[in-house]
Structure 1
Amino acid sequence: MNDLDVDDTMQEAAQDVEHNGDKDGRQEAQEEENDFLDPNRWWFASTACPLIAGTFGPMANAFSVCALVEKWRVYIPPGGDEDDGLTVEDPKWLIAINTVSLVFALAANMSLLLNMAQRLSFAIAQPITIVGWFMSSILLVVLVALASTSIFRTQPDSEHALTQAFYYGIIAAGLYFIIASLMVITVAGAYRGHYPKEFRLTTSQRTLMLQTIGFVVYLLLGALIFSKVEGWQYLDAVYWADFTLLTIGIGGKFVPTTHTGRSLLFPFAIGGIIMVGLVVSSVRSLVLERGKAKLSARFRETKRQKVIKSVDMDNRTIRVGIFEKIDFSEKGFSESQRREQEFRVMRRVQEKAERNRRYSALAISSAASITLWFVGALVFMKAEQLQGWSYFVSLYFAYTSLLTIGYGDITVTSNFGKAFFVFWSLLAVPTLTILISNMGDTVIKEFKDLTIWIGSLTVLPDEKGVYAAFKVALKRIRLGKFYKSNDEMIATSDKSKQTRLDRLAEHVEENELVEAEEAGEHGDTLQRDIHFYHFVLAKEIRQLMRDTDVSPPKQYTYQEWSYYLRLIGEDEDDASRHRKPKIETKRSKQQETHNIAAADGGNNGNGDQLTWSWLGIRSPLMGNKSEAQWLLERLSETLVAEMHKMKSPAKERDEPPPISMSNLKDRTGSEDSNPTQLLEKGINSAEVRRRGHAG
């Protein structure tokens, strides 16, 4: 190890850790805390608002195009309906204002995209975006208002009808106003200093925006081609392309009848389905990537606060659920036992909060989907009054359309119904995608687990037998996954120490410990232990790198956490390294704070600002990072600092590392200082226990 070849980059990183460790560590801890708390309050303004605007902006542009390409009025001959209407030329001022509105909207959307691509500054782009969309909305509202009055009509009401273009203008105006208002919220939050004046969008979020633009362009161009081939009105072709690409297939009189049209359907349909699949995949990944993380953080923090306020010092309990209390006391506990007590409470907080998050998300997405269904049915009933649709018939049509069943026995025929159907069906894509994703985390998962358990009791018993499967299930129902009594916890204190030894022995390989063996042969036990410590750090980093890819994220036991924390110099037995949570006792009528020690978030008395409590805001179980990621970062920083110490002769080291060969020596009871012989004596039983633990 003395001859380690550390490159310049490693040296520079190590120097940063060495000279700025405390300062950077405090800053990092503060940033992590801010990232946990602040985005939960401002994430919607900083990320969700521009994402919604960037996604629905192109859709609104498409509706503006639809409002411009066809006339707004038709003359209905006696005995005819809207489908038989003869188009009436629009005034030139209407076409001019409609065109200006579209130009404003396109400029606004382009400005937003350039800002997101870092091609245009925030200060320049946002005024253009907001003003452009508001102007587009105002101009379209003015046109819609005029078109609804007698000024715009030249025939009696019975002989006059408004086309799909008119209704697309209404939808576009509403969308422009909504997304412009959302961008106002984003800009206000940025100028108030809640987040930088830039868009913190991930690659998947940007990808969703591009995919939405691509899908809208694909739909409009496809509609243009089929309108020419089949002889349809362009907006009728848009309606057909929409229910075709979304695989609803409600048909009606809009089906390809020419050989050319049917031939073009093959590539058009498969290409559109692929694009819809990409959009659905992006929406789902965004729900998993950002929405789930933020909701989890918020629910976890809310649950944590409720739990630490529920401590009953008289009965020495803490409430983690409506019907669940856990023993919580300090008397008779060592420091590591007290910390394990905090750890298991925090695990229950995690479990309860995650369950609440899953079912709350399911409730919200279910409510959104039901609202989309019921409100959509109400609009369709009003739109199809000439067909005499009842509300039940509208519910039936909306349901079969939402689930893409598309029997085609009833279809919308009014101009308003067709335009609204296109908007409503596109809105259903993200809504149902999120609902299905949330169902996968809850109802489907529970049903899958129940099916597997029933199978283990009947036709597919596991290798441990039916009785073992039933016993495990009963224990989970009765006690919960992480429950452990205080008597059991005290018994595991020794197990924690044993786990450390087993994990040390796990890493033994004679050919990897040459440096340590040579140092031991020369009687330099300090160098031997240092080399061994470096070896263990490197091996654990490799293991943690594999753990970061595990899905669902891996959760470590307290014994494993204790071992890892010892590796980075934060021994769970060292009380000076810890904070203790601020707890409000139940027995105090004035809700006085019972400071078991220093409050979480403050100083623990020794000037160390980086200590934390398992029940505190800076607990590794509270942040947005997975446990493996948290540990991987800390172990990597520790290894970098250790390599620098070994390389720099000016930093002579005389303190022992957190772990050493003497641990194995004590375990085997041997007086031999040769590390290889010591490890050979301890490896077999350690390997057996390791495998048993993994099983």
Structure 2
Amino acid sequence: MNDPGLDEPAQQAAEDVEENVYEADREKAEAEEQDFLDPSRWWFASTASPLLAGTFGPIANAFSVCALVEKWRVYIPPGGDEGHGSKVEDPRWLVAVNSISLIFALVANMALLLNMTRRLSFAIAQPITILGWFLSSFMLIALVAVASTSVFRIQPITEHALSQAFYYGILAAGLYFIIASLMVLTVWGAYRGHYPKEFRLTASQRTLMLQTISFVFYLLVGALVFSKVEGWNFLDAVYWADFTLLTVGVGGEFVPKTHTGRTLLYFYAIGGVVSLGLVIGSIRSLVLERGKEKMSARFMEMKRRRVLASVDDEKRTIKLGLWEKIEFSETGLSEAQRREQEFNVMRRIQTKSERKRRYTALAMSSTAAFLLWFLGALVFMHSEKPQGWSFFLSLYFSYTSLLTIGYGDYSPTSNSGKAFFVFWSLLAVPTLTILISNMGDTVIKAFRDLTIWVGSLTVLPGEHGVSGTLKSGIQQLKMGKIYRDDSSSEKKLTERGTAEQTLQDRLAEHVEGDELAEAEEAGEHGNKLDRDVHFYHYILAKEVRKVMRNVDASPPKQYSYQEWNYYLRLIGQDENDASAHRKPMVHHERKPQGGPDLGTADEGERNAWSWLGVRSPLMGNKSEAEWLLQRLSATLEREMHMMRKSRAKREPPPISMDDLRDSEGRSGSDLEQDLKKDFGAAEIRRRSTRDV
């Protein structure tokens, strides 16, 4: 007998826990969906702008150092050139203003980093950062303007020139102004309430900033050491360190000639290549991580709206593309048929928007690379006029440098050309990294798949033989895809899942065995409700283990509608229940705080959704396997909490043993057939043990 003084409070506490679990799951899902639907421009302001500022801020500081440590004017001796001129002393006011500018910039950069590490509040750090960078920029712009006049230039001008330090000052001023403007955009968006007044940078984004700072520091320190060892000017050593660490190798007169320099090069070069590789890896992961997600979300939502707006009720059609129109009508269909129709349309939207995203990203990165190539060639043509470079020759030099071929037959010798080459080559690192990444998702992937397909028809036939491969390939081409045999990768994934079970996998297996035993025991005692509840828990645990093996699948696992129907029923969202569904909306309204209305309150159902709506599982940042794993795990957790409820309040589970037995003789889904086999085998083992 239960103690009436303890049972009621314990029961109430259990119900409160269950409600909290439901509320936490709902809030987490809405937060994920809101993040997915946030417009890309606010992601740029909240995340990309501070990331760019934190990355290019140290580079601008390095250029400020280069503008300060050497004189701004040189004297050109008879028969010489500006690259080998004699230094002319600068006025004291120029050195003073230049030094103050660098101090302001360093303080601004430090305030930004302290804000990103939560050591300084947003309200204090951002005014310091923005004001510091703008002051540094304006002071350097003023110095550059004065240095360009005849007051600063020594006559005759033909015998005097501006040094590399002058041009580094121009580059630093431009960078300070750009990154300060980006931070103004970030602050404006935060105070407008579009995102919190804090930086939501991931670990990889913070790592990129730290790696950039380390790389720039490594470059400058190496330049200082080699300038002393080889007797070079410091800025010439910076130019040498840049094309050395970036593996361009333009050659020319700047090569180590002393034994000490050549010995130090062994260690300096390998360290630089490793540092550069880390930076490139971080850039690539960021492009694949956040930029890809936001771009996918934007393209998916735009495509979804266009498709829903194209529904023709009279002709009963829906337009999926310029040349693709299919039948679409809700008249005379059951709820499950209507949902399956929506699912198929959403799957096509998903495929088309992803293809468009890949090729749009490729077009954008290609355009950026071509602009970098052609604009760089244009600058080199003007800076290297004393060498007689034509535009075609400048294109040739820019191309061989961008691809790090570095023949060394041509190299910049002017002060402006050397300084610009350092900035231009550093800018080429993220540009070409993003381009290569996008090419890997499109052109390279298509070429690889085509090569495998051609090989399977000729020298390396697949498991199905040449004729089977040809038929399958033709069928895939009709669907707009290239044939690819994934059987080996799936086999490796299965083997890895069997050999290396995670802790969660082992726990799910343990729950699975316990719940099946409880179901069998309850069935023997004639307790049908307890039997079905434990059997439902057994199925949930079993499906958690199955879905877990698909989370890391590459390419991501895409489930059929029949599989989705089965899994949704497991988590209590029956596809035949019309009250839990809603019609898709072309546009989603926004909450007063600026967040999107996720389509949950228009028709009274808090969790109602449509396959063509913004809450569709095919619309989020998570893969389908991740979405299902999260929901199945949450359902199993809630079920464990509900075990504390009294039997009078316990409702029958969505899946029962009778449902499985009633499906005998019908085709059913593959998953249901597997469950029947597993349960049948378990029942045979139990009877054998009992008979013994």
TM-score of the pair, normalised by structure 2: 0.87
Contact 1:122 1:197 in 2 (8 A): yes
Q: Contact 1:164/1:415 (CA < 8 Å) preserved in 2? A: yes
Given that 1:42 and 1:194 are in contact with CA atoms closer than 8 Å, whether structure 2 keeps it comes out as yes
Q: Tell me how far apart the structure 1 counterparts of residues 621 and 533 of structure 2 sit (CA, whole Å).
A: 33
Tell me: CA distance 1:683–1:318, structure 2 relative to 1, closer, same or farther (3 Å). farther
Q: Aligned to 1:326, what secondary structure does the other structure show?
A: strand
1:638 counterpart (619, 635, 638): 635
- Tell me the equivalent position of 1:346: 346
Residue type at the aligned position of 2:658: S
Label 1:562 to 1:481 Cα distance change in 2 as closer, same or farther (>3 A). farther
Contact kept? 2:515, 2:537, Cα under 8 Å: no
Distance 1:519 1:476, change over 3 A: same
Q: How many equivalent pairs are there?
A: 629
Distance 1:14 1:164, change over 3 A: farther
- Partner amino acid, structure 2, of 1:178: I
- Is the 1:604–1:611 Cα contact (8 Å) retained in structure 2? no
Tell me how far 1:668 sits from its aligned partner: 4.2
Comparing 632-641 with 208-217, which one deviates more in the overlay? 632-641
Aligned partner of 2:570 among 558, 562, 567: 567
Determine which of 614, 617, 621 is the counterpart of 1:617.
Answer: 614
Looking at structure 2, the residues matched to 681 and 194 of structure 1 have their Cα atoms a distance apart, in angstroms, of 51
Residue 426 (1) aligns with residue 426 (2):
yes
SS of residue paired to 1:161: strand
* Shift, 1:37, TM fit: 2.2
Corresponding residue number in structure 2 for 1:689: none
Give the letter aligned to residue 225 of structure 1.
V
Could you say which residue in structure 2 is the equivalent of 1:311?
311
Q: Deviations over 1:125-167 (max 9, x none)?
A: 0000000000000110111111111221233101111100000
Q: Report the CA distance shift for 1:557/1:452 in structure 2 as closer, same or farther (over 3 A).
A: same
Alignment-mate amino acid for residue 524 of structure 1: N
Q: For the Cα contact (< 8 Å) 2:284–2:437, is it kept in 1? A: yes
Q: Distance in 2 between matches of 1:35 and 1:14?
A: 32
Are 2:388 and 1:385 aligned? no
Answer whether contact 2:230 2:256 (CA < 8 A) is retained: yes
The 3 A distance-change label for structure 1 pair 117 and 373 is same
The residue number in structure 1 matching 2:457 is 457
Please list every run of 5 or more consecutive structure 2 residues that lacks an aligned counterpart in the other structure: 1-10, 483-508, 588-596, 667-674, 682-692
| C-alpha spacing 1:536/1:457, structure 2 compared with 1 (3 Å) | same
Show the 5 A alignment for 1:89-108: 89-108=89-108
CA distance in 1, matches of 2:13, 2:60: 49
1:510 to partner: Cα distance: 7.3
CA deviation digits over 1:565-594, x for unaligned, max 9? 11110011111111121479xxxxxxxxxx
Matched, 1:662 2:658: yes
Superposition deviation, residue 539 in structure 1: 2.2
- What amino acid maps onto 2:630 in structure 1? E
| Structure-2 separation of matches of 1:31 and 1:510 | 35
- CA shift, 1:322, in A, is 1.5
After superposition, what is the alpha-carbon deviation per residue over 1:28-81, rounded to whole angstroms, capped at 9, x for unaligned?
454344222224230010000000000000000000000001011111122221
What amino acid sits opposite 1:339 in the alignment? R
CA distance in 2, matches of 1:95, 1:476: 68
Which stretch shifts more, 11-20 or 280-289? 11-20
CA offsets, 1:286-307, max 9 Å, x none? 0000011110010001111111
User: Could you tell me which residue of structure 1 aligns to residue 599 of structure 2?
Assistant: 601
Secondary structure of the residue aligned to 1:79 is: coil
Indicate the RMSD between aligned Cα atoms, in angstroms. Answer: 2.5
- In structure 1, C-alpha distance between the alignment counterparts of 2:14 and 2:454, rounded to whole Å: 55
Q: Tell me what 1:155 maps to.
A: 155
Give the SS at the match of 1:252. Answer: coil
Paired position in structure 1 for 2:551: 548
Identity of aligned residues (%): 70
1:362 to 2:358 alignment: no
Q: Secondary structure at the match of 2:663?
A: helix
1:524 maps to: 527
**Are 1:126 and 2:122 an aligned pair?**
no
Q: Relative to structure 1, is the Cα distance of residues 269 and 125 closer, same or farther in structure 2, using a 3 angstrom cutoff?
A: same
Deviation at residue 18 of structure 1 after TM alignment:
2.3
Cα distance in 2, alignment partners of residues 465 and 184 from structure 1: 62
Partner of 1:77: 77
**1:299-338 to 2 correspondences below 5 Å:** 299-338=299-338
Which residue of 2 is the match for residue 515 of structure 1? 518
Contact kept? 2:512, 2:542, Cα under 8 Å: no
For the residue of structure 1 that corresponds to 2:549, the secondary structure is: helix
With over 3 angstroms needed to count, the CA separation of the structure-2 counterparts of 1:325 and 1:92, relative to structure 1, is same
CA displacement at 1:23 relative to structure 2? 5.2
Q: Bigger CA drift: 140-149 or 185-194?
A: 140-149
Q: Distance in 2 between matches of 1:624 and 1:510?
A: 33
Cα shift at 1:192: 0.4
- The Cα shift of 1:17 comes to 5.9
Does the 8 Å contact 2:30/2:598 carry over to 1? no
Matches within 5 A, 1:133-532: 133-480=133-480, 513-532=516-535
Measure, in 1, the Cα distance between the counterparts of 2:306 and 2:371. Answer: 32
1:258-311: CA deviations, max 9, x gaps? 000000000000000000000000000000000111100100011111111112
- Give the 3-state SS of the residue equivalent to 1:74 in structure 2: strand
Distance 1:41 1:112 in 2: 21
How far apart, CA to CA, are the structure 2 residues paired with 1:297 and 1:668? 42
CA–CA distance in structure 2, aligned partners of residues 16 and 363 of structure 1 = 53
Instruction: Give the deviation of 1:331 after TM superposition.
Output: 3.1
Q: Is the 8 A contact 1:579 1:600 kept in 2?
A: no
**8 A Cα contact 2:299 2:353, kept in partner:** yes
Secondary structure of 2:87's aligned partner = strand
- Aligned residue for 1:621, secondary structure, equals coil
Could you list the runs of 5+ residues in structure 1 that have no partner in the other structure? 1-10, 483-505, 585-598, 671-677, 685-695
CA contact (8 A) 2:111 2:120 kept: yes
Residues 476 and 313 (structure 1), Cα distance of their counterparts in 2 relative to 1, 3 Å cut: farther
Instruction: Flag the 1:420–1:315 CA change in 2: closer, same or farther, 3 A.
Output: same
Are the equivalent residues in 2 in contact too, given 1:645–1:653 (CA < 8 A)? Answer: no
Residues in 2 aligned to 1:544 and 1:47: alpha-carbon distance in whole angstroms: 32
Tell me the TM-score normalised to structure 1 length. Answer: 0.87
